[in-house]
């Protein structure tokens, strides 16, 4: 059989399938027709269709050649048999002697012992395996590559039919996709409950015409779409628009242009059309295969490139179908955003309209996480598979307590979550009763509680929470949401507004903390083997003193004579702090000589985020007006565990006794030198950890406003001297952590305000 014959038979096969699917009948009848047509057209003894009932289970849903009574009876796991191997690996299995293959599973009810050869291909769509399409013959033979390709094309059409629901039905047939309840486990990056409607960041494209009877027309459509895509990328990279494109965006667009001008992917898509697929289906077939390859890759660079290619496929599909263009007026009520990943600029565009965010990827230290926390939006990351299952306007719940997401939940799950949301709101209301009361422990220690902020929208939380001020204002967020460096006047106006909102309460401004995972688009990005320990934070500011100088000037201008507190991030040595402080002092002196208004009182401090700074000379502690322990970074360096690497993130633990004793050492040095000390980080918002840190000597915390009431409530019920005694005893006994001990302490506290 020559190539032309293969192409003609493939086209005829798809057209026969198309006619059959347009005829009357339910989903099961259509599946039976597909098996019959494929068997006849390919001249094989058996054609069977297995579909996923759930991610781990395949079910025989139609067959021509096997025992028909096995349909909807035979099931197997993805780790069983050759069919399971095809699904698990997302790649074809082609064997002339199936029973001799490793892992072969004999299923007596099907009668397949009579058949030797086996060819199975995955039925997949956008990286999701929906089932397996199998053909078999009695004669022992290996199927020709052209036959493998033909079956793969049929599988593509089946995937689209499964997606649109035309091969599903009543009775034993599988239900349509995107209709059943689905629950997912993830990782909570910002806690909370949320209920709303799905808003897909990248709305899915639905292909209703997978087969064509006019390949020439489809080739013309595909080539036209490719030219439009290339033209868009070329325009964005044109010299007339270069000034508005960041370096990072330009690198992405250069990658897009490389892919868009690649002859390889276009040739493959043209080949798909020659077999009888429409332009849209040919693009999606190539995209699904690329996604499957991406899932197997362990190379981070290759994965990034695959993401670029995946985005290019989506753009091409939107051009071909006209679907998926996001319109702001399409945002549903109470939207919960669903995305594979999202950048800070894109997230800020949605603003505070979002009820929650669910990401398939993401990390606890990403820009999106920082902004979600700043806007007090519940965020769950690492929710695998939700973008392929969710549809716009689906009902969805975020359960931050159980690190889970419920899509289209049944009435019992919905009722349970509703009840817990109401309970959480009741608890928050009770904390408001102690808003104006001090966080004074039973032993008489007054603990100061401040909030973290970075967006103007967070500042009203200062009064609502009863905080004593802003212990950390993240100035870098203003630098992250723009393609250019903000002007001094813009920054000064922002800082002035922050101080106005604080109404005389203390505000600590942290100078720009960029680098590592927080790269600004206008700063040249350099590849580093370990960015967390690389060129970041104060190191960038000292290497580019003009940036720090401009920010100091803006802070002084914004203060307009009011008290000013400046804090430098990621200081690792006395030398770094001295350089930064001297730069700050020079700016104050210069502006004073020029007759500018100088703050009535200035305090200059540092974030202690590296163990090295804890062992700095006494002169450092005497030079710094205050220190803030940055728990998130300090823990990762103390335990040598990357907090953005989910495989090792659990290895660093704030209630590890060695870490608590380290905090005690830092506090003792601060006390010896009369240096004010506070603690900032996620740990500060957990009552169990905050209590233990306070017992070690921390008497000031900066935390999320949503956590302040709860932390204050529990602090007011404990004796820090007694807890410190218990910690010292546990340490002397050789215990590793204080987890169980502090749980026992909290269990004796009242759970709500009376």
285-325 residue pLDDT tens: 888 888 777 776 666 555 656 666 777 788 888 888 877 65
The enclosing domain of 94 has a CATH number of: 3.30.450.40
The enclosing domain of 573 has a CATH number of: 3.20.20.60
- What pLDDT score does 240 carry? 42
Answer whether residue 172 is part of any domain: no
Closest CA to 620 of 582, 583, 670: 670
3-state helix, strand, coil in the chain (%, to 5): 50, 20, 35
Higher pLDDT, 699 or 459: 699
Per the structure, the complete domain to which residue 337 belongs is given by: 182-204+327-425
Q: Which of 22-26, 360-364, 559-563, 696-700 has the lowest mean pLDDT?
A: 22-26
Answer whether residue 436 is part of any domain: no
> DSSP class of residue 45?
S
Answer whether residue 622 is part of any domain: yes
Phi, psi of 96 (to 5 degrees): -80, -20
Residues 314, 335, single domain; the answer is no
Residues 156, 190, single domain; the answer is no
In terms of average pLDDT, the best of 171-175, 297-301, 483-487, 695-699 is 695-699
Which distant-in-sequence residues (6+ apart) come within 8 Å of 656 by Cβ? 639, 736, 737
The enclosing domain of 287 has a CATH number of: 1.10.274.10
* Whether 62 contacts 48, CB under 8 Å: yes
Number of domains in the chain: 4
* Whether 641 contacts 649, CB under 8 Å: yes
H/E run at residue 568: strand 564-571
- What pLDDT score does 248 carry? 52
As a whole number, the mean pLDDT across the chain is 84
Residues 622, 644, single domain; the answer is yes
Which distant-in-sequence residues (6+ apart) come within 8 Å of 562 by Cβ? 499, 599, 600
Answer whether residue 679 is part of any domain: yes
Residues 400, 364, single domain; the answer is yes
In terms of average pLDDT, the best of 428-432, 483-487, 709-713 is 709-713
Q: Give Cα separations from 630 to 94, 610, 643 (angstroms).
A: 56, 9, 13
pLDDT digits (tens, 9 = 90+) for 219-250: 999 999 888 888 877 766 664 445 445 555 56
Flag whether pLDDT at 637 surpasses 60: yes
pLDDT digits (tens, 9 = 90+) for 15-30: 888 777 777 777 788 8
Q: Which of 34-48, 330-344, 546-560 has the lowest mean pLDDT?
A: 330-344
pLDDT digits (tens, 9 = 90+) for 564-579: 999 999 999 999 999 9
Residues 538, 664, single domain; the answer is yes
Higher pLDDT, 15 or 46: 46
**How confident is residue 520, by pLDDT bands cut at 50, 70 and 90?**
low
Residues 469, 555, single domain; the answer is yes
Residues 383, 517, single domain; the answer is no
Q: Which of 5-14, 288-297, 614-623 has the lowest mean pLDDT?
A: 5-14
Answer whether residue 437 is part of any domain: no
pLDDT digits (tens, 9 = 90+) for 696-711: 999 999 998 888 999 9
- What pLDDT score does 525 carry? 59
The neighbouring-strand residues paired with 118 are 95, 136
Answer whether residue 515 is part of any domain: yes
Q: Give Cα separations from 49 to 58, 88, 511 (angstroms).
A: 10, 16, 61
Higher pLDDT, 421 or 621: 621
Flag whether pLDDT at 502 surpasses 70: yes
Distance between CA atoms of residues 447 and 713, nearest Å? 12
Residues 478, 494, single domain; the answer is yes
Kindly report whether the global pTM for this prediction surpasses the value 0.85: no
Instruction: Kindly state the tokens that stand for 665.
Output: 């050492």
**How confident is residue 5, by pLDDT bands cut at 50, 70 and 90?**
very low
Residues 149, 188, single domain; the answer is no
The neighbouring-strand residues paired with 60 are 50
Answer whether residue 483 is part of any domain: yes
Residues 104, 16, single domain; the answer is yes
Residues 227, 342, single domain; the answer is no
Flag whether pLDDT at 165 surpasses 90: no
Answer whether residue 169 is part of any domain: no
The enclosing domain of 354 has a CATH number of: 3.50.30.10
Residues 193, 141, single domain; the answer is no
């Amino acid at each position: 059989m020559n190539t032309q014959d293969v192409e003609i038979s493939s086209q005829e096969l798809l057209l026969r399938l198309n006619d059959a699917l347009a005829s009357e009948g339910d989903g099961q009848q259509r599946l039976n027709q597909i098996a019959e047509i494929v068997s006849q057209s390919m001249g094989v003894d058996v054609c069977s269709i297995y579909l996923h009932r759930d991610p781990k289970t395949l079910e025989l849903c139609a067959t021509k050649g096997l025992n028909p009574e096995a349909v909807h009876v035979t099931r197997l796991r993805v780790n069983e048999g050759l069919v399971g191997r095809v699904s698990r690996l997302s790649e074809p299995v082609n064997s002339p002697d199936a029973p001799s293959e490793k892992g072969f599973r004999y299923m007596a009810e099907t009668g397949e012992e009579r058949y030797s050869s086996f060819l199975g291909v995955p039925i997949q769509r956008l990286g999701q395996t929906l089932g397996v399409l199998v053909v078999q013959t009695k004669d022992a033979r290996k199927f020709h590559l052209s036959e493998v390709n033909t079956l793969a094309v049929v599988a593509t059409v089946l995937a689209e039919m499964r997606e649109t629901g035309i091969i599903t039905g009543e009775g034993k047939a599988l239900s349509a996709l995107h209709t059943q309840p689905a629950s997912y486990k993830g990782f909570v990056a910002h806690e909370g409950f949320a209920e709303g409607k799905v808003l897909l960041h990248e709305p899915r494209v639905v292909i209703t015409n997978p087969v064509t009877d006019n390949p020439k027309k489809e080739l013309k459509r595909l080539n036209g779409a490719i030219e439009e895509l290339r033209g868009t990328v070329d325009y964005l990279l044109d010299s007339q628009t270069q000034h508005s494109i960041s370096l990072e965006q330009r690198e992405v667009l250069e990658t897009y242009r490389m892919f868009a001008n690649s002859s390889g992917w276009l040739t493959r898509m043209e080949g798909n059309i020659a077999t009888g697929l429409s332009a849209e289906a040919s693009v999606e077939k190539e995209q699904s295969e690329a996604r499957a390859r991406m899932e197997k890759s362990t190379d981070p660079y290759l994965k990034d490139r695959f993401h670029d290619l995946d985005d290019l496929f989506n753009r091409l599909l939107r051009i071909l179908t006209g679907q998926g263009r996001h319109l702001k007026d399409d945002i549903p009520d109470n939207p919960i955003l669903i995305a594979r990943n999202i950048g800070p600029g894109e997230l800020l565009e949605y603003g505070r309209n979002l009820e929650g965010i669910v990401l398939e990827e993401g990390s606890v230290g990403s820009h999106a996480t920082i902004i979600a926390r700043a806007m007090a939006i519940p965020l769950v990351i690492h929710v695998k598979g939700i973008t392929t299952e969710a549809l716009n306007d689906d009902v969805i719940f975020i359960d931050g307590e159980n690190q889970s997401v419920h899509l289209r939940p049944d009435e019992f799950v919905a009722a349970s979550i509703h009840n817990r949301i109401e309970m959480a709101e009741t608890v928050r209301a009770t904390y408001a009763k102690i808003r104006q009361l001090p966080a004074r422990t039973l032993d008489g220690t007054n603990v100061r509680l401040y909030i973290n902020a970075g967006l103007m929208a967070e500042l009203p939380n200062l009064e609502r929470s009863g905080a004593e001020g802003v212990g950390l204002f993240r100035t870098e967020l203003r630098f992250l949401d723009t393609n250019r460096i903000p002007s001094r006047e813009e920054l000064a106006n922002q800082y002035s507004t922050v101080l106005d909102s604080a109404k005389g309460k203390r505000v600590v401004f942290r100078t720009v903390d960029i680098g590592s995972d927080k790269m600004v688009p206008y700063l040249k990005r350099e590849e580093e083997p370990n960015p967390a320990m690389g060129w970041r934070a104060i190191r960038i500011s000292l290497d580019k003193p003009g940036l720090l100088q401009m920010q100091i000037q803006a802070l002084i201008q914004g203060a307009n004579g009011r008290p000013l507190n400046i804090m430098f991030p990621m200081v690792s040595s006395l030398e770094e702090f001295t350089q930064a402080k001297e730069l700050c002092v020079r700016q104050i002196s210069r502006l004073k000589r020029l007759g500018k208004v100088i703050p009535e009182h200035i305090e200059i401090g540092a974030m202690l985020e590296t163990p090295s700074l804890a062992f700095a000379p006494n002169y450092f502690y005497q030079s710094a007006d205050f220190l803030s322990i940055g728990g998130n970074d300090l823990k990762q360096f103390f335990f040598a565990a990357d907090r953005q690497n989910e495989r090792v993130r659990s290895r660093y633990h704030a209630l590890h006794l060695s870490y608590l004793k380290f905090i005690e050492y830092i506090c003792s040095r601060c006390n010896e030198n009369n240096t004010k000390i506070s603690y900032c980080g996620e740990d500060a918002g957990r009552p169990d950890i905050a209590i233990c840190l306070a017992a070690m000597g921390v008497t000031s915390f900066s935390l999320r406003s949503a956590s302040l009431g709860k932390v204050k409530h529990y602090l007011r019920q404990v004796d820090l001297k007694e807890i410190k005694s218990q910690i010292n005893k546990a340490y002397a006994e050789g215990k590793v952590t204080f987890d169980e001990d502090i749980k026992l302490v909290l269990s004796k506290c009242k759970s709500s305000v009376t």
